[in-house]
Structure 1
Amino acid sequence: MLRLLTWTIACILMTMPVGPLSAAALVEVTELLAHPDHYDHQVVTVSGRVTSFQLATNRDGQPAFGFLLQDTAGTVKVVGLGKADVREGDYVVVEGVFSRLRQAGRAIVYNEIKATSVQSMTKMNPDLVG
């Protein structure tokens, strides 16, 4: 089922007009986790289900968000500025810059995508998502 969904998303991305998402190749979360050095500081496009969605405000008072993006084999953290028009449990396509690790004060954050675009699959083409 996930492979069919991944293939469907790839087809959508290839046929979409130029807009918020680019035609970057769709990468599975498993691939990011297996080869984090290869994707470090690279723009990636991934898909999965939103879990642990949180709204926040950054130090400058701008709205921000964070969530875990989960597919059948792994989970990656997604953060971004602005408002994400998604909800807990939504299936989404995320484009952003992947970091295998970053320093956040005294903590180290692993496997994170700083999102430039988050789009719900149901809003892309409701007929393709059940």
Structure 2
Amino acid sequence: MTNAASFIRRHIGQSALILLLITAGYSGWVPALHAGSMLELTDLLAHPEQYDKQTVSVVGEVSNLQLATTRDGQNAYGFLLKSGKGTVKVIGLGKTRVRDGEQVVVEGIFSRLRQGGRTAVLNEIKAELVRPLAQLTPDFVG
């Protein structure tokens, strides 16, 4: 293969990858936070049935952060997300770098009621993404 042919194949492959990533981002395949989809925690708590089992994005302050390990040995965490007059519980798998008192954006599945054996948990978000507000670019937060 000539140098020119090799050059063309290499750059066409890179262009295809870039196009795939751009397309995936616009189709929603890549998780992203959009200011238009941000929900006030007080609205979530005022109408929990409307958001039950739905993906939500909310902002609040981390409180009572607890780190744990599942039976399978996987890292897990939980904390209370506080904002204004409301609080929801946030749980997630993996490591988290957030700290108590830090303002964060949480994106995940909201459950109005979750049964855990004999325990009923109200207003919980199973986090898919937790990011400190300070790390987000201005494009993400409006």
Given the alignment, which residue of 101, 104, 108 partners 1:96?
Answer: 108
Amino acid at match of 1:103: Q
For structure 1, which runs of at least 5 residues remain unmatched after alignment? 1-17
In the TM superposition, residue 92 of structure 1 has moved relative to its aligned partner by 0.2
In the TM superposition, residue 88 of structure 1 has moved relative to its aligned partner by 0.5
Q: Which digits, 9 at most, give the CA deviation of each residue in 1:50-101, with x for residues without a partner? A: 0000000112110000000000120000000001110010000000000000
For structure 2, which runs of at least 5 residues remain unmatched after alignment? 1-24
- Provide the TM-score with structure 2 as the length reference: 0.72
- Of the structure 1 ranges 87-96 and 25-34, higher mean CA displacement relative to structure 2 is found in 25-34
Q: What are the equivalent positions in structure 2 for 1:96-115 lying under 5 Å apart? A: 96-115=108-127
Q: What are the equivalent positions in structure 2 for 1:76-91 lying under 5 Å apart? A: 76-91=88-103
Partners in 2 of 1:75 and 1:68 — Cα distance? Answer: 6
Instruction: Say whether the 8 Å CA contact 1:21–1:117 is kept in structure 2.
Output: no
Say which SS state the counterpart of residue 50 (structure 2) adopts. helix
Partner in structure 1 of residue 75 of structure 2:
63
Partner in structure 2 of residue 50 of structure 1:
62
Amino acid at match of 2:56: V
The structure carrying a bigger helix percent of its residues is: 2
Partner in structure 2 of residue 21 of structure 1:
32
Amino acid at match of 2:42: T
Amino acid at match of 1:107: T
Larger radius of gyration: 2
Verify: 1:121 aligned to 2:95, yes or no: no
Partner in structure 2 of residue 34 of structure 1:
46
In the TM superposition, residue 21 of structure 1 has moved relative to its aligned partner by 3.1
- Provide the TM-score with structure 1 as the length reference: 0.79
The alignment of Structure 1 onto Structure 2 pairs a total of residues equal to: 110
In the TM superposition, residue 20 of structure 1 has moved relative to its aligned partner by 4.4
Q: After TM superposition, which residue ranges in structure 1, 4 or more long, deviate above 4 angstroms?
A: none
